[in-house]
A and B are shown apart, each in its own frame.
Chain A
Amino acid sequence: MATLTASSPSQYHRRSWLERNGGQLGLHTVLILITILFAVPLLVVVSASFTDEVALAKNGYGLWPSQFSVDAYRYLLLNPDQIIRSYGVTILVTLLGTLGGLLVMTLLAYALARVDFTWRRPISFFVFFTMLFNGGLVPTYILITQYLRLRDTLAVLILPYLVVPWFVFLLRTYFSTLPKEFIESAKIDGANEFQIYARIVLPLSTPALATVGLFLILMFWNDWWLALLYINEASLYPLQYLLFAILRNAEFLSNNANQSAMLGSVVVPLQTIRMAMAIVAMGPVAIAFLALQRYFVRGLTLGGIKGE
């Protein structure tokens, strides 16, 4: 009897633990499965990049290298010219595009946020209308290639993306929530609009600037569209477009096939090289993402404020 009474509370306790946590366990099981499914494509590409070329052709793609090899990466290290060039193009475009975009968009947003700017409404509409209607690909393409003659220039990878209406409005909304007293007192102190913009509004808006800046970095870093349309010159290939060229056209890599002799191997590791290229191109984005994820989340909530 004594043991029964002693054990019954713990039995009761155990059942209630399962009852209380059974749902949580099920939830974690489902979420872990989803997480694994989401990671599979990445795992497969990483494992392929570390697989021996012949083994990959024979055994196929898997979650783990069927025969471990770093030949693909060694090959990339021996032929780094195009990769370094493309990395350079992408870094330059991302840097100039993000800084330039932030500059022109914050200037515009600042003017639109000022209530004493007489034409802020019609100009807001002028910006907004570009979100509703666009001329489409053909007129843009002809304008850029035949009239502006921007084909195969660095500028064509930057200029068309500098003004994103959605970000202009996000910044405008943020600027207009800043306390008016700051601006008023600065004016009394004799500051002009540029000084108020640079010394008061921008420093107070770092969360919005960080969010828009990160989205711009992501947009420029990941862009392949402008290169697909306007770049033929390999020396101006951004990273994403180089990846595309390699996936479409194996010869792009085997041009340097004589290099494979250096590896002491008969086969140019074409398939595994492609996968290694994808990993090399993705690396910085992956690291940056892990560090900066919360800013992107905040970007969405900032956008939400605009809607309300």
Chain B
Amino acid sequence: MAPTATTPIPRNANAAQTRKRTGFGALLRKNAIFLLMAAPALLLLIVFSYLPMFGVVIAFKDFRAALGIFESPWIGFKNFEFLLRSPTLGRITVNTLFLNSLFIITGTVGAIGLALMLNEVRLKMAARTYQTFVFFPYFISWVIVGYFSFALLNSDNGLLNTTLSRLGLKEVAWYSSPQYWPTILTLTNLWKGVGYGSIIYLAGMLAINTDYYEAAMLDGANKLQQIRYITLPFLVPIMIITTLLAIGRIFFADFGLIYYTTRDNSLLYPTTDVIDTFVFRALRVNADIGMAAAAGLYQSVVGFVLVIASNWLVKRVDPDRALF
């Protein structure tokens, strides 16, 4: 009874589907409700993501606000010539790549180290408390981080300088000494992100089968050996993937980190000026739209190539983790 009762239903459904699949109008009618549901989000993407993509033509124009994008005259690669001739292009490129490399290396090492330590803590209550403290900075905006760094670093009465002078050491004018800033920014970045970064490694550690550790202990392996020969090898895939994905974003700096921690101090530009802060300044402070657009397009294009390349590499390591 059961088979005779169930078989006709799919047959009918199939027949109905094949009948419906004739012509674009029918297809549209079938999908109309889904298109309607997707429409608001797609419209927002078109306006705020796709229209600006076409706007990159500004980089090849002598943009005049009064004329608008379409009426402004074409000037070919003039904006890029100005950009290439200015000494800043090299500086912002090097700073962006150098700072991001520092962040990627210290961030990975810090996150793995922290995760290893938290994972070894036997008292789970304590582990959770530590985690709360290191996770906390993740929830604070860069503006407030700017307040924190001001309280620590300002040369009149910041904590670091008062401590230095109490110890009888020489005070440092942090906000006018660019040589210290790669370190300061690296520590700030680590402080803000390492708690968040460790979570993915902690999750990876929880996924490791405990049999490996039991077998290792039977063979007399101590904790460090277990970490060295079991835990770390298991984390390598996650490490490679997160690093490659970060490399895909290496041409984009964290504007908030740089802008607020340095308080946009021009004395620090030699080591802290990055592409994003330069573009922002060219647009908003100097109103040099041509220069800003050229630098922005340079970043978008190189960034795009890097994302594609890193994804290609991720695909070779672990196809399941590739973005596309």
Give the interface of A toward B (CB within 8 A): 23-24, 27-28, 30-32, 34-35, 38-42, 44-45, 48, 56-63, 103-105, 107-108, 110-112, 114, 116-120, 123, 126-128, 130-143, 146-148, 159-160, 162-163, 168, 192-194, 197, 218, 221-225, 229, 240-241, 243-244, 247-248, 274-275, 278, 281-282, 285-286, 289-290, 293, 296-297, 300-301, 304, 307-308
Contact = CB atoms under 8 A, between A and B. Distances in A.
A127 B135 CA distance: 30
- A38, A138, A241: which has the most chain B beta carbons within 10 Å? A138
Contacts of B122: 24
Given A60-B157, A136-B296, A224 B141 contact: yes
Contacts of B324: 128
A96 to B, nearest CB: 14
Contacts of B317: none
A61 B292 contact: no
A286 B31 CA distance: 45
A111 B42 CA distance: 12
A247 B134 contact: no
Contacts of A32: 130
B48 A160 contact: yes
B300 A118 contact: no
A247 to B, nearest CB: 6
B153 to A, nearest CB: 10
A308 B139 CA distance: 27
A128 B49 CA distance: 11
18 contacts: A31-B117, A42-B136, A45-B148, A60-B162, A107-B41, A108-B42, A118-B30, A126-B42, A134-B53, A136-B299, A137-B279, A139-B55, A160-B48, A240-B143, A247-B146, A296-B135, A307-B241, A308-B320
A293 B131 CA distance: 10
Given A28-B121, A141-B283, A300-B200, A126 B132 contact: no
Interface in B41-88: 41-42, 44-45, 47-56, 58-59, 63, 65, 68-69
B220 to A, nearest CB: 15
Given A107-B38, A138-B279, A244-B143, A143 B320 contact: no
A111 B133 contact: no
Given A111-B37, A131-B323, A247 B150 contact: yes
A281 B321 CA distance: 38
B159 A62 contact: yes
- A120, A143, A300, A307: which has the most chain B beta carbons within 10 Å? A307
B174 to A, nearest CB: 13
A48 B154 CA distance: 13
A135 B55 contact: yes
A300 B304 contact: no
Contacts of A104: 40-41, 44
Contact of A137 (B118, B144, B280, B304): B280
Contacts of B152: 40-41, 44, 61
B140 A285 contact: yes
